[in-house]
Structures are given as C-alpha cells and as structure tokens.
Amino acid sequence: MPEIYYVYILHCADGTYYTGYSGNLSRRLKQHQSGSIPRAYTKPRRPVKLIWASEFESKKEARGYEKKLKSWSTQRKEKLIADGKTNTNQIKEDQSIPD
C-alpha cells in the first residue's frame, strides 16, 4: 500500500495563509490548532482552518509542490482555493493557474 502525503493550506486568524505538507494530515492539523510546536508560524495565529489540501504519492512530490505553493502570491493561492482544485493533474491542466 503506497504512502500518501498531503500538501495543505490553512487560513489563519490574522488573515494570512500557511502552506505545509504532512504524511498525517489530521495529526498535523491538531498540532497547528493546539499550538504544540513552539516556533510554528501558526501558533500565534490560531485558530486556523484547513481550506485546501491535495494528496501526493511521494514525500518528494509533496515537498516539491509545497515549495511551489509557498512561492505563489496570496492572490494566486486564493484562485486555487476558490477554484476548488485539489487534484494536481487538474491544476497542471488549468492554464489560469500556471506552474
């Protein structure tokens, strides 16, 4: 059974976005909400809300996509979220959200 990794975007209480990846999304979301990671970006910005996530078949692929999303402008992330695209094949085929 292949391992699944997730890239996700959280909306923080201060209106900012946080992009991350994890092999266990529910555990990671609990960590963000509880503030259990002392220097985490989200700790002083709680509560946070999961607003977008996508599955990847490898850690390398997830980390690469996380890095790409982190380089995107807020406007571009909001378009991705508004379009509701969670499948990376869908994203790559959509010319309005270029690689």
6-15, 42-51, 90-99: the lowest-pLDDT one: 90-99
Q: How far apart are the first and last CA of the chain?
A: 29
Rg of the chain, C-alpha, whole Å: 13
pTM for the complete prediction?
0.85
Q: Is the Cβ–Cβ distance between 21 and 5 less than 8 Å?
A: yes
Q: For residue 32, what is the domain's CATH number?
A: 3.40.1440.10
Summarize pLDDT for 47-60 with one digit per residue, the tens. Answer: 999 999 999 999 99
Count of domains observed in the chain: 1
Distance CA 24, CA 32 (A): 13
Question: E strands along the chain, which residues?
Answer: 5-12, 17-22, 48-56
Summarize pLDDT for 77-98 with one digit per residue, the tens. Answer: 999 999 887 655 554 444 444 4
Residue 21: exposure state from Cβ atoms within 10 A (0-12, 13-18, ≥19): buried
In a domain, 81, yes or no: yes
In a domain, 47, yes or no: yes
In a domain, 98, yes or no: no
pLDDT value for 84: 81
In a domain, 99, yes or no: no
Count H helices and E strands in the chain, helices first.
Answer: 4, 3
Domain span at 51: 5-93
pLDDT value for 20: 97
pLDDT value for 96: 46
